[in-house]
Structures are given as structure tokens and as C-alpha cells.
Amino acid sequence: MPEFRRDPIGGYWTIISTERSRRPVEFHAQGPTEERECPFCEGREAETTQEVFAIRPGGAATNTPGWEVRAIVSKMPILPEGAATEAYGQGIYDIMDGIGKHEIIIESPKHCHDLDEMDPAAVEKVVQAYIHRINAFEKDPSFKYALLFKNHGLTSGSVRDVIRHSRSQLIGLPVIPKRVKEELALAKSYFERRERCVFCDVLKQETKETLRIVAENEFFLAFCPFASRAPFEMWIMPKWHQADFGRLDEDKIRPFAELLRECLIRLRDVLDDPAYNFILHTAPFRHMAKAVYWKTINEDYHWYLQISPRLTKNAGFEWGTGVHINPTPPEDAAQLLREAQV
Amino acid sequence: MPEFRRDPIGGYWTIISTERSRRPVEFHAQGPTEERECPFCEGREAETTQEVFAIRPGGAATNTPGWEVRAIVSKMPILPEGAATEAYGQGIYDIMDGIGKHEIIIESPKHCHDLDEMDPAAVEKVVQAYIHRINAFEKDPSFKYALLFKNHGLTSGSVRDVIRHSRSQLIGLPVIPKRVKEELALAKSYFERRERCVFCDVLKQETKETLRIVAENEFFLAFCPFASRAPFEMWIMPKWHQADFGRLDEDKIRPFAELLRECLIRLRDVLDDPAYNFILHTAPFRHMAKAVYWKTINEDYHWYLQISPRLTKNAGFEWGTGVHINPTPPEDAAQLLREAQV
């Protein structure tokens, strides 16, 4: 079982694989290896791990063809399922069992590489699947957060990009990650000072200045953030105030899917299918609703999807300072993305 | 001039290049390009930017051969020198001029790729140069911090690794970076609770447990940290308590240089010349010594050098959570590094 270990100097948790240690020679053999047939395509259901969810309009049986979106348990989970013991100390160090849940959401029965190749109705079903799975994770009281993300292309850090079949990943976590906690704390302190949501204020300023807007529809705004850490970074944010992506109303799913698809088409047009990560920023699960900390989350937090192309590499300066260097101003990136052919 | 821009949601600063925006096509043309002759070798001094420091035992003139270590201003500074204006707001966003200083420390007059190829006396001079330059930066009241780091190998994020001439970089910053502030705050709060330095406590536990130790001498310990974020990560820490690397005593420079060289030899032996970054963690400059914040820094902070091999890539999970996944437990890494041929 992997271990969460906390560094007493930096305060961060790391997941250490203790089951099977990766040896030096294995880091060299890291290049993509050809897979003959794609295990995620329709018709090969028996070869994947256990199916946990699928949209099957015809009502076909589990683990058979006839699905439009399908979620399976990861074959190589970052955090496996299991019963966790209590966290404990080892001298000045803290340790916790690396228990969680890791699902793969296969976004199409056909062999396509990303959402931008699918039609809007198909992307709508993918978003329905995201919402279904996040809400399913929320029902398990052992998870405090579920992170939805996508690794697209080799430099996105995807270890199996050679498969080239569009998919996202969802990981249930027994802790609220440091990055999420920091965002929550800042949103809360902003609200306390001004009685306004910082995300709503960002939307107001972006709408007024217009120069960083990429695309929009009635319900969502897509823009390059003012302090973009990655060149051509985009955020898709609901124009109304909502803390939980999992509470997205039925009638907003299609507009969100359409804008997401459009942003990915624009990205591909401008940058010729770049590697990217997308990360959903949403409120943590609130089983412990009594805690004072959670009281204000519905008013001070606001979900959004962050799309970060991986065009540059981090080096000593970024690791040492936490400050990223972005060689393309978001105003220039937004203009190019706006002018793209869709 | 580059701009520091602060994100109001994540709280981070980004450096945005506004002078010359990098266009989409330039990200594709990013591979290494052959340079015919190395501009950092002895005899080509006239071709580099301005020399700011050199160790010349024979007393030869500036910008001529006869040096052992040489520091120059970076040709492509991350932060250029200049007179900064005050930080200002633009609606809810914060902006600051991207002013600082960026020097390259050329570590050898001969064309060698890294410190492990040099003899101990040569590495000692490199460490003398580090100390000299950091203390020179400290005299400029516009800098609050100086980050010393090295990018070795292409996947370290080095943009000019094709030069393959051993060098480090030093960047003077008008702000204390977020990453440094977090470490300072944690060290302070640990000390307040226990009246002990957290770094000294880590040294005590590592010395007692021994299984993560890589190498040591009378004054320094090299070990793989308990919650290593990178496989084969190593920290070199002084065994006595000292907050500022720039205050390192004359008689400790050689032992530090010897252990640094030994760690890099071990790393090369085990991993076949991997890409890595090293980052010096040291106390910020304390021009504003009156501030309450700084009062305890000499007792609660402790410098160290972090060496992080770049063997894995970060993906959506790491970006979204701030939690890194390390497939090689530090206990296994330390054993392999200890057993290496030196």
C-alpha cells in the first residue's frame, strides 16, 4: 500500500510507493511503448478492469458494447481502495495509509484522441459522467475531496499517452490537498474583507476589460487568467455563483460541454494539438458540515475548470521560488485563441 | 520589462514576459540547437556578457583568460536590472515591475559538464564564488532574497543544456518568494511550540535511523529526505545550526564542496548522468532587521542544499493537489546511492 508522508520542513505530503520500488534502470526505459490494440475501444470491455459506471442508451449489460461513456477502476491506481488505519507519527515525521479511489472515465467508444474530435452531444454525455462520478464519490464518507483531471499528450505527464484514446481521471482523496486548502483560505479571507466572492469579481473585471476573453456563452466565460502560469492557459468559469461542480443544473451541462469543446478546438488550432492538463477546481465534500470552516463555502467559493498547455518546462527557478515564468502574455494568447478557426 | 502579476484566487505571483511575446510556432522549435563553440570556455571571454566576478590566482585582467571560476550577467535574464517603480493595483489585480538581477556562475575554465568531473580543490573555489556572489547581492537593499540554483541536463528545464559547460545561476529578487515564506513560517511555528530547530530535529532523527543517509563528513550530512518528492532526491545539511549559507566559515567550505562533489558522483554512478536541479535553501536578506518577523530567524531557520533528479513528470494529479508521487522510497534510493562507486 502506498504511504502518505509529510515533510516537517516544507509541510507537504508526498505519496511514496512502497509496494514495488522503481529501480534506476526503469527510469531510462520510460519512452512510449507501442500498444497494438486500444483497450479502451468498444468491443474490448472484457479486457479492462471492473466497470463502475456507463451510459448505455440501449440498456446493454455491464462490460459489453453499447455504451457512450464508461468509467472503470484504474489498472494502476495512484491510491488504491482499502480500509485505512489512523495516521501516526514516526519520531517527528507523519505517516498515513495511501488509500483512496482512482477511476478512468473513457470518453468515447470510438478511438478518438480528445474531446474536440467529438460532437457536442457526445461531450455533453462526458460531462454528465463527470458529475455522476463526483457525486458518487461524495457519498463515501472516507473521501474529503475528489480531483477530476485530464492528462493529454506525452509532456502532460501521461504515462500511457500512446493509447491516444480520450479519457479523464477521477481520484478520491482522504485529505483535502494543500493546493485546494490554499485556494479555499484565500477565497474565504477575500469574502470576509469585502463581502464579495473573489471569483465573481474576476468575472466582472474580465467582462469589462474583454482583452483576455477567449469565448463565452450565456452561462460560461472562457478566458486566459491575468497571472497565467502557463502560456495559453484558459479558465472556464460559470457566470453565476456556484461552489460545487457536482451541483451543476441539467440545463447548464450542454452549454458547459459546448464551451469546453470549443476551447479545446481553439487550442488545437493555435498550437497544433499541444499536450495539456485540465484540472477541475471545485469545493471539497462537506460531510463535516458543522465545522465552522465550511459555513461560508457556498458563498465564498466558486468552481472553475483550468486548462494548462504544457509548452514550457519548470526549472530550478520555478521549483525554488514557486514563481512561474510565462513567455506569452495572456492578452496575446487570448487574441490568438479568439481568432482561431472553429 | 517583465511584469510580476499576482493571481487574486491562487495568491501566487507569475513573471509575465511583456517585452517580446513568444508565439505558438516558437514552442515547437524548442529542441536543442547545436552551438559550434562553447562561449563559457577559457579564451572566449570577449564573447560573453559583462564579467562581474572571477577568481584569478595570477591576477590577470577582467575578461581575459587565467580564471578558475567566473560570474557573468545573464544574456537572457529572467529578471533584468533596473529601477523599479512601486507595485500597483489594476482593479482587483496586483502588478509589480519584474526587476532583479541574474548572474551565471561558470564553474570551470575547462569544458566539463558538471562538478563531479572536477577535483575537490576546484569545487571548493566554486563554493567560494557562490558565497561571494550571494554576499554581494545582500549589499543591494533592493533585493530581499537571492536564489542559487543549477539546471543540469535537458529535462531539468535548462534551455541551453546543449552548451554542456558546468554552471549555476543566481537570481536576486525584490520579494521573498512564496515557497521560501512557507518554509520560514513552518520553521518559526515549530520553534515556537518546541524551542527547537526543526532542521536540527531532522538531523537527529536521520542520524539515529541511518537508513536514509547517503554520505557524511565531520560537518555535513547528505540524506534522502523522508517525504522525498523526487526519486533519489538528496539534501546536504550542515550538522551545526546556521541560518545563512553566506555566513559559512572558511574552514567549512572545503568539507561542503567535497560532500557536494561526492553526492553528484554517486548520483551519476547510480542513474547514469540524470538531469537534476539543485536549489539552495537559505535565509532571506535581513535589511529590515527591526521587523518582528526576522527576530527569531537565526535560531529557527537552517540552510540546506536540495538536489532533485528529474526522472518523473508531473501531471494533472500533482498540479491539482500539490502532492507529488514518488515511485522510489527514499530508503531504497539512499541504499543504492551509498553503495555506489566513488
Burial readout B318-341 (b: 16 or more C-beta within 10 A, e: otherwise): bbbbebbbbbbbbbbbbebbbebe
- Does pLDDT of A313 surpass 90? no
- Does A16 contact B274 at a Cβ distance shorter than 8 Å? no
User: Which CATH number belongs to the domain containing residue B239 in this structure?
Assistant: 3.30.428.10
Q: Which of A131-140, A295-304, B292-301 has the lowest mean pLDDT?
A: B292-301
Q: How far is B51 from chain A (nearest CA, A)?
A: 22
A200 falls within a domain = yes
Which of A2-16, A81-95, B200-214 is predicted most confidently?
B200-214
B136 falls within a domain = yes
B26 falls within a domain = no
| Under 8 Å between Cβ of A100 and A84 | no
The confidence score (pLDDT) of residue A283 equals 96
| Under 8 Å between Cβ of B35 and B162 | yes
Which residue on chain A is closest to B24 by alpha carbon?
A271
Q: Which of A111-120, A305-314, B155-164 has the lowest mean pLDDT?
A: B155-164
B24 falls within a domain = no
| Residue A334, strand partner residues | none
The confidence score (pLDDT) of residue A289 equals 56
Question: Which residue in the set A6, A157, A320 is minimally distant from B313, CB to CB?
Answer: A157
The confidence score (pLDDT) of residue B63 equals 94
State the Rg of chain B over Cα.
20
Q: Cβ of A209 under 8 Å from any chain B Cβ?
A: yes
Give how many domains chain A has, as a whole number. Answer: 1
pTM of the model: 0.94
- Quote the DSSP letter at residue B190: H
* Domain boundaries, position A89: 3-22+33-339
A27 falls within a domain = no
| Under 8 Å between Cβ of A79 and A138 | no
The confidence score (pLDDT) of residue B36 equals 62
Which residue on chain B is closest to A270 by alpha carbon?
B24
- Inter-chain contacts counted by CB atoms under 8 A, chains A and B: 270
- Does pLDDT of A291 surpass 70? no
Question: Which residue in the set A8, A177, A327 is minimally distant from B322, CB to CB?
Answer: A177
Assigned C-alpha cell, B118: 572536477
* Interval A242-249 mean pLDDT: 97
B128 falls within a domain = yes
Rounded-to-10 torsion of CA A155, A18, A146, A300: -90
Those of residues 220-279 in B touching chain A at CB distance below 8 A are 225-229, 231-232, 270-272, 274, 277-279
The confidence score (pLDDT) of residue A31 equals 53
- Does pLDDT of B79 surpass 60? yes
Q: How far is A179 from chain B (nearest CA, A)?
A: 5
What CA–CA distance (Å, rounded) separates A190 from B45? 52
Residue B223, SS3 per DSSP: strand
- Does pLDDT of A16 surpass 80? yes
The confidence score (pLDDT) of residue B223 equals 98
| Under 8 Å between Cβ of A69 and A62 | no
Q: Cβ of B201 under 8 Å from any chain A Cβ?
A: yes
- Does pLDDT of B57 surpass 60? yes
Contacts of A131 (CB under 8 A, 6+ apart): A245, A246, A248, A253
Which residue on chain A is closest to B4 by alpha carbon?
A227
The confidence score (pLDDT) of residue B29 equals 54
> pLDDT tens across A185-213, in order?
999 999 999 999 999 999 999 999 999 99
* Interval A120-131 mean pLDDT: 98
The confidence score (pLDDT) of residue A184 equals 94
The confidence score (pLDDT) of residue B87 equals 84
| Under 8 Å between Cβ of B224 and B233 | yes
Q: What percent of chain A has pLDDT over 70?
A: 94
| Under 8 Å between Cβ of B78 and B63 | no
* Interval B301-316 mean pLDDT: 94
ipTM: 0.92
Other Cβ atoms within 10 Å of A114 Cβ, number: 22
The confidence score (pLDDT) of residue A159 equals 63
Please count the residues of chain B. Answer: 342
A87 falls within a domain = yes
Q: Cβ of A207 under 8 Å from any chain B Cβ?
A: no
The confidence score (pLDDT) of residue B111 equals 93
> pLDDT tens across A250-261, in order?
999 999 999 999
* Interval A242-251 mean pLDDT: 97
- Does pLDDT of A35 surpass 70? no
At B37, is the pLDDT very low, low, confident or very high (cuts 50, 70, 90)? confident
- Does pLDDT of A59 surpass 70? yes
- Does pLDDT of B291 surpass 70? no
Q: What percent of chain B has pLDDT over 90?
A: 78
A15 falls within a domain = yes
- Does pLDDT of B269 surpass 70? yes
Assigned C-alpha cell, B310: 528529474
**Beta strand A51-55 with B276-281: parallel, antiparallel or unpaired?**
unpaired
Q: Which residues of A touch B29 (CB under 8 A)?
A: none
Q: Cβ of B193 under 8 Å from any chain A Cβ?
A: no
What CA–CA distance (Å, rounded) separates A224 from A206? 9
The confidence score (pLDDT) of residue A10 equals 92
- Does pLDDT of A161 surpass 90? no
At A18, is the pLDDT very low, low, confident or very high (cuts 50, 70, 90)? confident
What CA–CA distance (Å, rounded) separates A30 from A45? 27
At A293, is the pLDDT very low, low, confident or very high (cuts 50, 70, 90)? low
